[in-house]
Amino acid sequence: MELYRIEPDNMTRISERNLDEEEQLENRLVRTEAAQIGDVELLYIGRQGTIETGGIFDILAIDELGNTVVVELKRNEAPRSVIAQALEYASEIQDAEYDYLNSRYSSFLREEQGYGDEPPSLLEAHAEYFDLDEPLSPREFNTEQRLILVASKFDEDKLLNIVDFLRNHDVDVIAVEHSTYRDDDSDIELLATDAIRRPLAQEPSTAGDRDSHSRVYGRKWHIEEKPNPETGELIEEIVSQLSTIDSLQDPSWNQKPYVALDHQTLQYRLIIRTQVTQLQIWMGLTCDPKGRNRIANEIGVPESEVEQSTNNRGDPRLVIRCKPDYDIDVSTLRNEVKKLILSSGE
């Protein structure tokens, strides 16, 4: 790309210059409120690592739909490490709820932008920046994750091959090359970017299929489009049964990764993550190994499919994985889930 300064009687080319350190670009980015990178409008909310640590300098952002975006600035890392770092952070952030993101945003404003007063909430800042008629609800944040890789040049075939493989499996990885320019006459520095792998929604072959702005992720999508037919039937049956638990609200189908059933007090949440060949029931509580084994045996799934883990904040999470080829007693599953909710104190 070539840039020119145009005057009434002259056109002067602006010289391209190297940005010696990727940290310089990152430091400049995080000093701003937001940016558009790779055709994605971003509101920055966090930074992962510092120059002093010598780590990979991920930037965390939010797009217009409230989805999290991991921005990875590539330096001299091997292709595998670049992708691995970005995927690792995206996997860690996928379970983050609004309160965590809001906390990160508050810290970011104070530490990176020198915000002295009480910082605005993420809800307020997001609605103002994207000029929304009304703010998103907390539950609409982080339903999907994106990766943006930024480099002065992508000359490794392996890296772009990995990117294309992930994109073929619906992981929205955007690759962006950047160039910097300086107009010495006016003492202005310029940054130009070129998305060599655009957002999936903008690819011509998939624009009508993956456009998140126009698509509505509802009951039909979770039952008929996301899973195979057998899994879709199981999802419908299990959601129908769990919906009869008195303390849970009607299911919300409008998120792409999951179906949500909130507790009536909004202090407890049950999430059903829908996938092609299985569904996962996530509950924020603890259960000892004997209890997990008993639950598995009662509902008809292998013991290994009832697992205790934690989310990115260290909060407990009990996961029950269900597949169509298991001999699942859905009615018993409903009763066991109700017992678990009751034992957590509702």
Q: Does pLDDT of 147 surpass 70? A: yes
- pLDDT score recorded for residue 25: 62
Please state the CATH superfamily assignment of the domain spanning residues 219-343 in this structure. Answer: Transcription regulator MotA, C-terminal domain (3.90.1150.20)
131 against 116, higher pLDDT: 131
Q: Cα(317)–Cα(285) distance, rounded to whole angstroms?
A: 5
- The DSSP string of 224-282 is IISS-HHHHHHHHHHHHHHTT-TTBPPPB--SSSEEEEEBTTSS-EEEEEE-SS-EEEE
**Tens-digit pLDDT profile for residues 291-340:** 999 999 999 999 999 999 876 567 788 999 999 999 999 999 999 999 98
171 against 265, higher pLDDT: 171
- Among 109-123, 201-215, 317-331, which range has the highest average pLDDT? 317-331
Q: Judging by DSSP bridges, how do beta strands 68-73 and 145-151 pair with one another?
A: parallel
For the residues 156-160, what does the mean pLDDT come to?
75
- Among 36-50, 127-141, 154-168, 279-293, which range has the highest average pLDDT? 279-293
- pLDDT score recorded for residue 325: 94
- pLDDT score recorded for residue 52: 43
**Tens-digit pLDDT profile for residues 32-90:** 667 778 778 889 998 875 434 444 457 899 998 899 999 887 765 666 777 888 888 88
Burial of 246 (0-12, 13-18, 19+ CB in 10 A): exposed
Q: Cα(132)–Cα(126) distance, rounded to whole angstroms?
A: 8
Q: Which two tokens stand for residue 175?
A: 């690759």
C-alpha torsion sign, points 88, 90, 92, 95? negative
Q: Does pLDDT of 345 surpass 70? A: no
For the residues 277-285, what does the mean pLDDT come to?
90
- pLDDT score recorded for residue 268: 67
Q: Which two tokens stand for residue 92?
A: 């860690």
Name the pTM for this structure.
0.56
Q: Which two tokens stand for residue 67?
A: 């989805």
pLDDT band at 175 (very low <50, low <70, confident <90, very high): confident
CA distances from 41 to 38, 46, 126, 215, 283 (A): 8, 15, 11, 19, 33
- pLDDT score recorded for residue 264: 67
Domain ranges of the chain: 3-210, 219-343
Q: Cα(316)–Cα(318) distance, rounded to whole angstroms?
A: 7
**Tens-digit pLDDT profile for residues 215-274:** 567 899 899 988 999 999 999 999 999 999 988 888 988 877 789 887 766 566 788 989
- pLDDT score recorded for residue 216: 62
DSSP state of 326: S
The values of phi and psi at residue 288, to 5°, are: -75, 165
**Out of 139-153, 178-192, 215-229, least confident range:** 178-192
Place of tokens 């619906």: 170
Our measurement of the distance from residue 329's CA atom to the centroid of its chain's CA atoms, rounded to an integer in Å, reads 33
Q: Cα(142)–Cα(101) distance, rounded to whole angstroms?
A: 9
Residue % of the chain over a pLDDT of 90: 27
Place of tokens 């998120």: 255
- pLDDT score recorded for residue 174: 87
Q: Cα(140)–Cα(46) distance, rounded to whole angstroms?
A: 19
Burial of 82 (0-12, 13-18, 19+ CB in 10 A): buried
pLDDT band at 183 (very low <50, low <70, confident <90, very high): confident
